[in-house]
Chain A
Amino acid sequence: MAMLVDTRGLLCPEPLLLVKQEMSRLGGKGKMAVLVDSGAAKENISRLAQNQGWEIAVDQQEGFTRLILTK
């Protein structure tokens, strides 16, 4: 059971903020799927996840990207 964080259509810094809130709600580890549709958000979220030791799987969809974060 992974939580879904849909950041599509949101401008900075909301996508990153939603992911960060979800990370702390999960207690810093677990699994979540993040939907992003902007390059900036994708890079920001990937950077945050990497810095905090989350593994990132990238799944390119039509018009958006799904990032699966696990730790």
Chain B
Amino acid sequence: MGKVNILLAGIVAGILALVLVKFGNPLNMGFCIACFLRDIAGSLGLHQAVKVQYMRPEILGLALGALAASLLNREFRTVGGSAPLIRFALGFFAIIGFLAFLGCPLRMILRLAGGDLNAVLGLAGLTAGVLCGVFLINKGYSLGRSQPQGKAGGYIFPGLVLILLLFAVTKPAFLLASKEGPGSMYAPLVLALAAGLLVGFLAQRSRLCLVGGIRDFVLFRDTYLLIGLAAIFATVLLGNLLMHTFNFGFANQPVAHTDGLWNFMGMALGGLACVLLGGCPLRQLVSAAEGNTDSALTVLGMLIGAATAHNFGLAASTQGVSPAGQAAVLGGLAVVFLIGACSRSAIKVKGSAADNSSAVAGQ
């Protein structure tokens, strides 16, 4: 698999992120898995923060685009059973961290490319979290193997997404929508859905993962995924410069705060949890759409985490992170680190003749 796929995925994601902002999304928020899951949680009434409630079609498109790609390439497989509840908890705490920063790793790149220097501290935190995760992996961390499962299980997540898409299109009365704030800012449904579909398709083909980019470089000096990250950054930076939307500095950044310590700590929590999960929120979403029921549960953990963050006042506002939010990030770091330190693999390389495929297939 050449590097063209990942480069293309990064450039297209970058261009569409710019387009979505141009057509109504909040600034530096063409895509943000954490923010959009939070908006979706709000639209379903799972939290009552009136400024962040909207059924984001981007997320639904990302999942369905990845589903289409995996079906077309015969990569759709229902698997699961690798510590599902632990993955739910890791997804939950990852979002607690990301919402302290106000963005997932993807939005962190978009914020960097928009000139938001607070995201530099986010990147430093994310890298610290990834390094901590790599340390645990090198110590033998593993959540164990998933197993093939009955085919129906893999379609539950895409089915849920289709139902949410039906809600997004028909706008039933119970679906909440912000009248002000970030939730009230959105690109037209068809555009947002199409952008999601395309990026989801390309992300599935290229395995695009923002956390994986840093992780693989640290672990293997492998730059493949890092190319995707760099392509998004370069594309969006160029676009912002050309459109005069590049706003360099710490202060007055859109949907951001200037509390450097908690920008760092939030992303450290998210980065650590994501390395232990095997990928960033985007990658979890794609993996869930490919039939991985553990990843589907991770996404549900993120959704509930987002609702919890707003119900209990843990998510950051543009003023910063509340004492409760700071306590949640520290508590989350402790829980996630303990999970990482206590989950040990019994997986060993086997010393047997492996040229007999039937012996292998039968095990």
Contacts and interface: CB of A to CB of B under 8 A. Distances in A.
B137 A13 contact: yes
B352 A4 contact: yes
Given A39-B75, A66-B360, A12 B279 contact: yes
B243 to A, nearest CB: 34
A10 B224 CA distance: 20
Contacts of B173: none
A48 to B, nearest CB: 7
B170 interface: no
Contacts, number: 102
A66 B353 contact: no
Interface in A12-71: 12-14, 16-18, 20-22, 25, 32-33, 35, 37-40, 43-44, 46-48, 59, 61-63, 66, 68
Contacts of B360: 4, 6, 33, 35, 61, 66
Contacts of B287: 11
A59 to B, nearest CB: 7
Contacts of B219: 13, 16-17
A14 B77 CA distance: 19
Contacts of B224: 44, 47
B353 A16 contact: no
A63 to B, nearest CB: 7
Contacts of B82: 9, 11
Nearest to A1: B353
Contacts of B148: 63
What DSSP secondary structure best describes chain A's contact surface?
mixed
A20 B220 contact: yes
A35 B357 CA distance: 10
Interface string B283-323: 00001000000000000000000000000000000000000
Q: How large is the interface on B (under 10, 10 to 19, 20 to 34, 35 or more residues)?
A: 35 or more
Interface residues of A, number: 38
Contacts of B361: 61-62
Given A9-B147, A44-B222, A4 B350 contact: yes
B142 A48 contact: no
B351 A3 contact: yes
Given A12-B212, A44-B216, 15 more contacts: A2-B355, A4-B349, A4-B354, A5-B349, A6-B347, A6-B350, A9-B146, A11-B143, A12-B215, A13-B215, A17-B219, A18-B347, A40-B207, A43-B207, A48-B220
19 contacts: A3-B352, A5-B349, A9-B145, A10-B142, A10-B146, A11-B277, A11-B287, A13-B215, A13-B220, A14-B137, A16-B216, A16-B220, A18-B347, A20-B220, A35-B360, A39-B75, A48-B222, A62-B361, A68-B355
Interface of B: 1, 73, 75, 77, 79, 82, 137, 142-148, 207, 209, 212, 215-216, 219-220, 222, 224, 277-279, 287, 345, 347, 349-355, 357, 360-361
Interface of A: 1-6, 8-14, 16-18, 20-22, 25, 32-33, 35, 37-40, 43-44, 46-48, 59, 61-63, 66, 68
